């Protein structure tokens, strides 16, 4: 529905909500178009992995997208995040910790799964904390991670 897009948007911060579903993007546009901050956000329909914005972003907020992806796509996710972020940009991840799921989505994941794909690209978790604002059923199983590039990507050799 794009609630986070709207919550983050302000005169100081234009926010783009990327959605692969036309229906979901239209629903988000419908409920949010008359809000006071509607000039500071947009909902776009595109494939995250193929999208080429006109300029890189200062911040990417991943709200459980990672755990919805088949684990074989996680490296491509990290490479795409790296491409979409400015060199000094930040990645915020809402990590839904799952360890007992058969199949998916959502798929099992841990903080280590994020580290495995982000650290070789030069990202380091500068903050990792429990999500105190998690909805009741997910209290204790969500973490907020803040990632920054802290060096050059590691060679895969």
> What pLDDT is recorded for position 153?
62
- Fold of the CATH domain 57-156: Rossmann fold (3.40.50)
CA 11-125-155 angle, 5° bins: 115
Residue 151: the pLDDT is 65
Cβ–Cβ < 8 Å for 43, 12: no
Give the global pTM.
0.89
pLDDT category of residue 82 using cuts at 50, 70 and 90:
very high
pLDDT digits (tens, 9 = 90+) for 101-126: 888 999 999 999 999 999 999 999 99
List Cβ neighbours of 97 (8 Å cut-off, separation of 6 or more).
Answer: 109, 110, 111, 141, 142, 143
pLDDT at 154: 60
Where are the chain's structural domains? 1-46, 57-156
CA-based nearest residue to 67, from 22, 24, 23, 113: 113
Predicted local confidence at residue 156, as pLDDT: 52
Q: Are 142 and 131 in contact (CB under 8 A)?
A: yes
């Amino acid at each position: 529905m794009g609630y986070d897009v709207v919550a983050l948007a302000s005169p100081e911060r234009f926010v783009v909500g990327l959605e692969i579903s036309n229906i979901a993007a239209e629903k988000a546009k419908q409920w949010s178009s008359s809000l006071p901050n509607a000039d500071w956000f947009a909902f776009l329909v595109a494939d995250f992995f193929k999208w080429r914005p006109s300029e890189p972003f200062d911040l990417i907020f991943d709200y459980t997208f990672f755990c919805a992806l088949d684990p074989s796509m996680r490296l491509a996710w990290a490479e795409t995040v790296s491409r979409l972020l400015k060199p000094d940009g930040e990645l915020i991840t809402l990590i839904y910790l799952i360890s007992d799921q058969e199949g998916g989505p959502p798929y099992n994941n841990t903080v280590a799964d994020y580290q495995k794909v982000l650290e070789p690209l030069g990202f380091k978790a500068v903050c990792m904390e429990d999500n105190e604002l998690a909805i009741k059923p997910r209290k204790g199983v969500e973490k907020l991670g803040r990632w920054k590039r802290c060096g050059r990507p590691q060679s895969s050799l």
